[in-house]
Structure 1
Amino acid sequence: MIRLRLLPWLAVLGTLACDPAANRVNKPDVTPISQPGSDWELVWQDEFDGPAGTPPSADRWVHDVGGHGWGNEQLEFDTARPENVSVDGTGNLVITARKESYQGRSYTSARINTSGRFEQAYGRFEARIQLPVGRGIWPAFWLLGSNIGEVGWPECGEIDILEYRGQLPALIRGSLHGPGYSGGDNLGLEHAVSGGKLYEGFHIYAVEWDPNRIRWMLDGVTFFEATPARLPAGTRWVYDHPHFIILNVAVGGGFVGPPDSTTVFPQQMKVDYVRVYSRAP
């Protein structure tokens, strides 16, 4: 996500009971799944199994609830209601943006994160997602530095694995936000997809994060790479500490603009799974 989030995140983080052990790995019981390669070892996952209409696991996810715009001029009120975020009974998390009057806002949606539940530095962060569509719809899969409460944003670092404008359904963006390269001046790249629209099916979005390199991938193909050498002169690489995971669907905001008469509601982002790997020893 683009632009400042400091004040909302300080309020959210102040309500969380952070476990220092979570700064590395919470390893759940897992069933064997296909690995992305022999270089990787699965360390965390959510497959979003469960009865339809139930919330995502409270052992893995925290809800961000509020309608203050998140520093991005977003128009929705994010809730923890099953109408906005729940599993569908077939193995998907569904985040639903709705056009409705709620808490002084004209739209609702949801935003969940793993702060205090799971945070990791380095590795492969991957999700299989079917995106929504429509002007003013802004889904994202991203990472935020777990030290945001101490150093603020963008000093904490932010890794946007996937951002997407609903009105441009064949274009995605991967980016970094850090001190001296944040908001609209982030370090990133937009990638055009040939042969179809991203909302028409599921795709795998991933980053592979090493100490001095981050690579962005769509369906196993690298489309962007960032290193300290690519940063603007005089700025710092701050991707050396644990980050937590965020999934959300915004409505409106500076990156996408507001919905218009062509935007159909409700809109849903479906997430088949989120998986995190570490380099195999």
Structure 2
Amino acid sequence: MIDFVKCFKKEVFAVLAIAVVGLSGCSKGSGGEEGPVYVPPVVTTPVDKGWTFEATPTWSDEFTNTGAPLSSNWDYDTGGGGWGNNELEYYTNTTNNASVANGLLTITAKKENMGGMAYTSSRMVTRGKLDALYGRFEIKAKLPSGKGTWPAIWMLPTDRAYGDWPKSGEIDIMEHVGYDQDNVHFSTHSEAYYFKINTQKTITKKIDGASTAFHLYRVDWTPYAIRGYYDDVKVFDFANEGTGYKVWPFDKRFHLLLNIAVGGDWGGAQGVDASIWPQKMDVDYVRYYKMIEK
């Protein structure tokens, strides 16, 4: 719910601030009297400094252990309730839905009842383990398939400095819905640009064999731009417009998420095939490379 009192106070403050700025730059009119001079707001256009990234990962998981994912690298979001998208899964923090073996992380969505939901899955997060401002993220993964699957490799703000979603931003490195096989999506969301008002910055790329072979999903994030790459081919480029957080909240720490949702507003838009479960997303590695400051 909007706090109208706070909004009113902010509007009054903004008007007073403009008045003060105007009065601080007075000039004499034709009658010799001093009058306010309008001073337009300053918009600083960001400059691309050609940032690069360190050659060795600052943080990585090659999944060389066996059993549960390393607690030093991963935490979990758990529970059901739809997650704001009318999803059907209950997220757990057990090896029933996320496990490591033979050099791979496997996230498994299953048709089983838990917590009032009809499916279980895992939503792994690096929050508190890897919270980064800028850098390169690489994730090599093989996706699930089938109507009702909705895997994602994505990023959320750790501190929500600008407010709740979408004000503090979201970066979707990879999203896929099973009823639209092999069409993979890269998107960003902010208060000005997000899907519920159909202004999100997004692309769709056909990746043959997204669910039968491993592919590399990557984001290069700098103060100037968020750029997406699939199998090292650039598919997405969103530049910082320099107009503030409503467009560009991407100047704060974000963390990484890996999950398979079941159904939901997008994943279940054409129904859920009850015969396909369990479904898996296999991850070969996750690597983060620090941006080199300039």
Is TM (by shorter chain) over 0.5?
yes
How much does 1:39 deviate?
5.6
Q: SS of the residue aligned with 1:101?
A: strand
Task: Please point out which of 149, 154, 164 is paired with 2:176.
Answer: 164
How much does 1:83 deviate?
1.4
Q: SS of the residue aligned with 1:198?
A: coil
Contact 1:131 1:199 in 2 (8 A): yes
Task: Report the equivalent of 1:99.
Answer: 111
How many residue pairs are counted as aligned between the two chains?
239
Task: Report the equivalent of 2:219.
Answer: 207
Task: Report the equivalent of 1:270.
Answer: 282
Contact 1:64 1:112 in 2 (8 A): yes
How much does 1:73 deviate?
0.8
Q: SS of the residue aligned with 1:167?
A: helix
Contact 2:225 2:238 in 1 (8 A): yes
How much does 1:182 deviate?
2.1
User: What one-letter code is carried by the residue in structure 1 that aligns with 2:61?
Assistant: D
Question: Normalising by the residue count of structure 1, what TM-score does the alignment of the two structures yield?
Answer: 0.79
Q: 2:82, 2:195 → 1: CA distance? A: 15
How much does 1:234 deviate?
10
Q: SS of the residue aligned with 1:254?
A: helix
Unmatched 5+ stretches in structure 2:
1-51
- Corresponding position: 1:188 with 2:173: no
User: What one-letter code is carried by the residue in structure 1 that aligns with 2:258?
Assistant: L
Task: Report the equivalent of 2:152.
Answer: 140
| Superimposed CA distance per residue, residues 170-211 of structure 1 (whole angstroms, 9 cap, x where no aligned partner) | 101011111122234322111123xx3210110000001111
Contact 1:40 1:280 in 2 (8 A): no
Unmatched 5+ stretches in structure 1:
1-36
* Structure 1 moving runs of 4+ over 6 Å: none
Between the aligned residues of both structures, percent identity stands at 37
Task: Report the equivalent of 2:268.
Answer: 257
| Superimposed CA distance per residue, residues 105-161 of structure 1 (whole angstroms, 9 cap, x where no aligned partner) | 111101010111111111111100000001110000111111127722212211100
Contact 2:216 2:230 in 1 (8 A): yes
Q: 1:175, 1:237 → 2: CA distance? A: 13
Distance 1:38 1:156, change over 3 A: closer
Task: Report the equivalent of 1:125.
Answer: 137
Task: Report the equivalent of 2:82.
Answer: 69
User: What one-letter code is carried by the residue in structure 1 that aligns with 2:266?
Assistant: F
Question: Normalising by the residue count of structure 2, what TM-score does the alignment of the two structures yield?
Answer: 0.76
Q: 1:115, 1:43 → 2: CA distance? A: 16
Q: 2:251, 2:161 → 1: CA distance? A: 16
| Superimposed CA distance per residue, residues 200-225 of structure 1 (whole angstroms, 9 cap, x where no aligned partner) | 11000000111111111111001111
Looking at CA atoms only, which structure, 1 or 2, has the larger radius of gyration? 2
Contact 1:137 1:250 in 2 (8 A): yes
